[in-house]
């Protein structure tokens, strides 16, 4: 094991300055994924910068002037999921978070850390195997190996891993954005652009610049978000990652769909917004046939691997069901 330094930073500026000056420094807050990676020698930082006691602005959930919420990056998953107004106004977000991990992990895990968690591809965690994400240009054994849990959308010849976050799927459907601070100041990144597709550089998961720190997530007001649902399908009922997940919300005008949001999890290297299906739904009758066609459109570019063809049909069915439940006003799926 390589030695590393540990230090608690006392301001956002100090954190960013220290991380910008040392490309091998890593931020730590809840540590629920990072510590696993340290133990497996996947991350070998020179220093851990503990941000867990940073400014109070990173620990609050505050209403915004526009009518949405600004969620500090250090808010725990438990506190966000149980926030009364978030639960009422953005139920898909609350349910997505509660469907992930265990109560103990959610108590420690933070919003910023949830966005930064890395894939659970088993080859990535096992140094006995090559892995382009762990070490560029070494190969991807998953492509011709056991790939039942891997991607059917957005993968590349270098990596077919999926993003494991449930929270990010709901945030993609809700058109959230991520507020980050770097050497050059603050900027906002739309959630759908925060994570990257693997392409030729699967070792990079996000579009963060070196040293940039997540400060908050912004949730815009969405009038029909209370009808939103989160449907997660997995191998066991709890403490398992999604094989397929759907975050969906439908706004009706009479029997017609005025607006729809769909994002998929467990099927792509990033939270997968189904924009073409959303456009198709606008102005159509809210019925089973419409939902089936929307699901087909969402999956039209799917490229299953040798062991995960079942995810295509599972995704279709999950989309249809999530849309139908949301069109009835939402609730549990």
Question: Binding residues for ligand SF4, per CB under 6 A?
Answer: 119, 121, 123-124, 131-133, 140-142, 159-161, 202
If the CB atoms of residues 78 and 156 are measured against ligand SF4, the closer one turns out to be 156
50 CB neighbour count, 10 Å cutoff: 16
Q: How far is the CB of 202 from ligand SF4 (least distance, A)?
A: 5
- Strand bridging mode 244-253 / 256-265: antiparallel
**Which residue intervals of the chain are DSSP H helices?**
12-21, 34-39, 77-81, 84-89, 91-98, 103-108, 111-116, 122-125, 167-173, 191-194, 275-281, 288-298, 310-327
Q: How far is the CB of 272 from ligand SF4 (least distance, A)?
A: 16
Q: What is the DSSP letter of 206?
A: B
If the CB atoms of residues 29 and 140 are measured against ligand SF4, the closer one turns out to be 140
Q: How far apart are CA 84 and CA 79, in angstroms?
A: 10
Q: How far apart are CA 149 and CA 166, in angstroms?
A: 15
Q: How far is the CB of 141 from ligand SF4 (least distance, A)?
A: 5
If the CB atoms of residues 37 and 106 are measured against ligand SF4, the closer one turns out to be 37
CB contact set of 136 (below 8 Å; sequence gap of 6+): 201, 202, 203
If the CB atoms of residues 73 and 116 are measured against ligand SF4, the closer one turns out to be 116
Q: How far is the CB of 123 from ligand SF4 (least distance, A)?
A: 3
Instruction: Give which of 36, 273, 268, 262 is closest to 164, Cα–Cα.
Output: 268
Q: How far is the CB of 200 from ligand SF4 (least distance, A)?
A: 12
Q: How far apart are CA 332 and CA 200, in angstroms?
A: 39
If the CB atoms of residues 43 and 251 are measured against ligand SF4, the closer one turns out to be 43
Q: How far is the CB of 134 from ligand SF4 (least distance, A)?
A: 6
Q: How far is the CB of 38 from ligand SF4 (least distance, A)?
A: 17
If the CB atoms of residues 131 and 319 are measured against ligand SF4, the closer one turns out to be 131
If the CB atoms of residues 97 and 140 are measured against ligand SF4, the closer one turns out to be 140
Q: How far apart are CA 284 and CA 281, in angstroms?
A: 6
Q: How far apart are the first and last CA of the chain?
A: 46
Q: How far apart are CA 286 and CA 36, in angstroms?
A: 45
């Amino acid at each position: 094991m390589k030695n590393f330094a540990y230090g608690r930073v006392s301001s956002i500026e100090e954190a960013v300055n220290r991380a910008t000056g040392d490309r091998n420094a890593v931020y730590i807050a809840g540590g629920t994924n990072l510590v696993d990676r340290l133990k497996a020698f996947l991350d070998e930082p020179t220093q851990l910068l503990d941000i867990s006691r940073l400014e109070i602005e990173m620990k609050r959930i505050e209403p915004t002037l526009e009518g949405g919420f600004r969620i500090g990056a250090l808010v725990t998953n438990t506190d966000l999921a149980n926030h009364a107004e978030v639960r009422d106004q953005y139920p898909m977000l609350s349910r997505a978070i509660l469907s992930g991990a265990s109560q103990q992990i959610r108590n420690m895990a933070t919003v910023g850390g949830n966005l930064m968690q890395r894939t659970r591809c088993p080859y990535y965690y096992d140094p006995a195997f090559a892995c382009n994400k762990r070490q560029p240009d070494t190969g991807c054994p998953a492509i011709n190996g056991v790939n039942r849990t891997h991607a059917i959308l957005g993968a590349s010849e270098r990596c077919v891993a999926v993003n494991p976050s449930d929270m990010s799927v709901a945030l993609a459907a809700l058109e959230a954005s991520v507020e980050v601070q770097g050497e050059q100041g603050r900027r906002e990144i739309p959630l759908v652009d925060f994570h990257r597709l693997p392409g030729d550089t699967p070792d990079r998961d996000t579009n963060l610049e070196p040293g940039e720190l997540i400060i908050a997530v912004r949730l815009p007001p969405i009038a029909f978000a209370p009808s939103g649902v989160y449907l997660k399908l997995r191998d066991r009922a709890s403490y398992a990652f999604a094989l397929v997940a759907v975050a969906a919300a439908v706004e009706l005008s009479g029997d017609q769909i005025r607006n729809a949001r769909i994002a998929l999890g467990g099927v792509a290297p990033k939270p997968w917004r189904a924009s073409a299906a959303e456009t198709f739904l606008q102005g159509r009758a809210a019925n089973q046939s419409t939902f089936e066609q929307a699901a087909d459109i969402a999956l039209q570019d799917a490229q299953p691997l040798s062991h995960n063809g079942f995810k295509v049909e599972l995704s279709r069915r999950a989309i249809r069901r999530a849309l139908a439940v949301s069109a009835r006003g939402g609730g549990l799926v």
